[in-house]
A and B are shown apart, each in its own frame.
Chain A
Amino acid sequence: MTASETLLEVKDLKMHFPYGGGFLSGKKGFIYAVDGISFQLKQGETLGLVGESGCGKSTTARAIAQLHRPTSGEVLLHGKDLAKLKDKDLIAARKNMQMVFQDPYASLNPRMTAGDIIAEPMRIYNGHNILSLSRQEMEERVEQLMERVGLSRFFKNRFPHEFSGGQRQRIGIARALALRPELVLCDEPVSALDVSIQAQILNLFKDLQEEFGLTYLFIAHDLAVIKYISTRVAVMYLGTIVEIARSADLYRNPQHPYTQALLSAVPIPDPKVERGRKRIILTGDVPSPDKIRVGCPFYDRCWKRMDHCKLSKPPIKEAEPGHQVTCFL
């Protein structure tokens, strides 16, 4: 691998969605989906973003991909702030950053053949005159990609509904790789797949990373999956990162109470281990990000909370080199 250069840097990213209000009445409020996220992603790394529903991980990915324009903050890809780019420049920058989506049934256009779906990014970029591939070259690339992700190229002319979930996800991956990007944003790509297929696709992700030198931002809610695929992990809660560390460090030595609770809640497929575990059961529900919160967002459910946790936002402390926690403890 080349010297680890920072490929993606996110600084204090915020994504607030206004809601409510109609033609005549004003806005009712905001959803603070992402409320100040910062991290760095080095080339060749896989950063796992994990959290429960409502924590903002999917929104983060979309804000980085500029599918939603960030409310504030910077998204630096190779130093260029994507949030400030418009039109032509943004399209050129997007060539280097592609996305794989969660639902294999919804992320492919049911009326397009597999070959068309994979070729589409190339056609679009041909149209923008950023690429100029001939038809022959595109066909070849499509076939190569299909073989590389494990699909027979004879299935080029089939429609998505003729494929299984795992195969559809492979098509989505091939599509993401069509432009040979450096960064791939993966939004829960294995969550909708069966267990036996999940392992196949995870291994595929790993192999492709090695072969093409890809960098992943991998989002999932399954901690075991994240552990397997990531080099570094960031845990999100209510739109902020509460802990970020190298994968091994996080799982061995979780600092933030939420991380600890999360880890203890994940079931392990081994009855003896399960019986011997001490579970931390959190009270209350996963909250929704529709209020401005003063103080630590985890205050309501934290069993180690102290009075001053309610009053101001906790600082970012460094527990070990490369391991940061946002907590007063």
Chain B
Amino acid sequence: MAKPTAPKRDSLTNEFDQTMKPVSLWTDAWRRLRKNKMAFGGLIIIVFYFVACLASPVLPIYPYQEQVVSHQNLPPSLHSAGKVMLFTRTAYMKQTMEADGRSEFNADEKAQLEAMRIDAQVNPENNRVYLLGTDNLGRDLLSRILYGGRISIMIGLTGTLTAVFVGIVLGSISGYVGGRLDNLMMRFVDIMYSLPYMLLVIIMMALFGQNIFNLFIAIALVSWLTICRVVRGQVMSLQNAEFVEAARSMGASTGRIIFRHLTPNTLGVIVVFSTLMVPQFIMQESFLSFLGLGVSAPMASWGSLVSEGANVMELYPWQLLAPAITMTVFLFAMNFLGDGLRDALDPQSKNKL
């Protein structure tokens, strides 16, 4: 005997013979996000970054750790390395020449330039194009930025995900159970908040060594605090909602109520928070790298690149500007996206009656 199964129909007609397409909360939010140009722009930029950084091993760029000592500190250019070196040298010589009061190169200088010109044509290495220039060890800045982006973004993402996960679990339980457990938990959070965070991280890195894993743990250690508080607040405000009472009256266990009912309804806030946490993480990591506690050579992260660039800021400004601008654009984009998400996910937008 065939059991009747419900046919899956997605569009149905209402009483006026108009079709009503199903609208889930996410579709609605997506539509609103698309309308927000800044946020959507931010989203595009971020997707671009993700793709570029993730694909960096397969992109036709020079390996990030390869050093070509003769190509030290070259400025960004579309010309090949050889030509760039030639131009720089020429410019430098012109300066010396003018300082001496001459109007022409002397034989010595001409010889140097001629040698460089030949070298440029002969040596295949000199055909390289460094779009963003090189650093003081002759490493291509573009690829270092891309690889650095990988590291930075990965730290941002994994840090956020851990913080979010820990924060949701602890926040939900604390908010729902309430009473003494909540009190203790929140006092613990308060104490953690008041600890000098940077000091903690520095001590940790000093004690346990300076590698990515420790860096990541150190950052994640304190970042779950805010999410925990936020989720707790949401849970507390939702727990008296009638649908929670309904679940309780049906004999639902505490676990089910927390994770099946309360947490999904806090997702909106969590998504927004997470997008705003990723930039925070990247900033923290860059600060640590700036202090010299972040990733170690030859690996790069945006922070370490900025740190290196800052040292030679006056001589070779691009070594600071390139990574700094890259990072800033990414952070802006993330912030716009976060703002846009907050508006999109908030069901009480100003257009609703």
Contacts and interface: CB of A to CB of B under 8 A. Distances in A.
Touch between A and B in complex, CB under 8 Å? yes
A140 interface: yes
Nearest to B264: A111
Nearest to A128: B251
B22 A101 contact: no
23 contacts: A65-B249, A67-B245, A91-B251, A94-B250, A94-B251, A95-B251, A99-B245, A101-B246, A103-B242, A106-B241, A106-B242, A107-B246, A111-B264, A121-B250, A139-B5, A139-B6, A140-B4, A143-B6, A159-B22, A161-B23, A161-B25, A162-B20, A162-B22
Interface in A113-146: 120-121, 124-125, 127-128, 136, 139-140, 143
Nearest to B241: A106
Nearest to B263: A111
B243 A108 contact: yes
Interface of B: 3-9, 12, 20, 22-25, 183, 241-243, 245-253, 256, 261, 264-265, 267
Interface in A79-104: 90-91, 94-95, 98-99, 101-103
Contacts, number: 86
B242 A101 contact: yes
Contacts of A94: 249-251
A109 interface: yes
A24 to B, nearest CB: 12
Interface of A: 23, 62, 65, 67, 90-91, 94-95, 98-99, 101-103, 106-111, 120-121, 124-125, 127-128, 136, 139-140, 143, 152-159, 161-162, 172, 175, 179
A95 to B, nearest CB: 8
A134 to B, nearest CB: 11
Nearest to A146: B6
Nearest to A90: B251
B265 A136 contact: no
Nearest to B248: A67
B189 to A, nearest CB: 16
Contact of A157 (B22, B183, B243, B267): B22
Contacts of A124: 250-253, 256
A124 B253 CA distance: 8
Given A65-B249, A102-B242, A143-B6, A110 B265 contact: yes
Given A98-B250, A124-B252, A128-B251, A109 B261 contact: yes
Contact of B251 (A103, A125, A162, A172): A125
A19 B179 CA distance: 14
Contacts of B267: 111
Given A67-B249, A91-B251, A111-B267, 7 more contacts: A67-B248, A99-B246, A108-B246, A109-B243, A125-B251, A139-B6, A154-B12
A161 B242 CA distance: 15
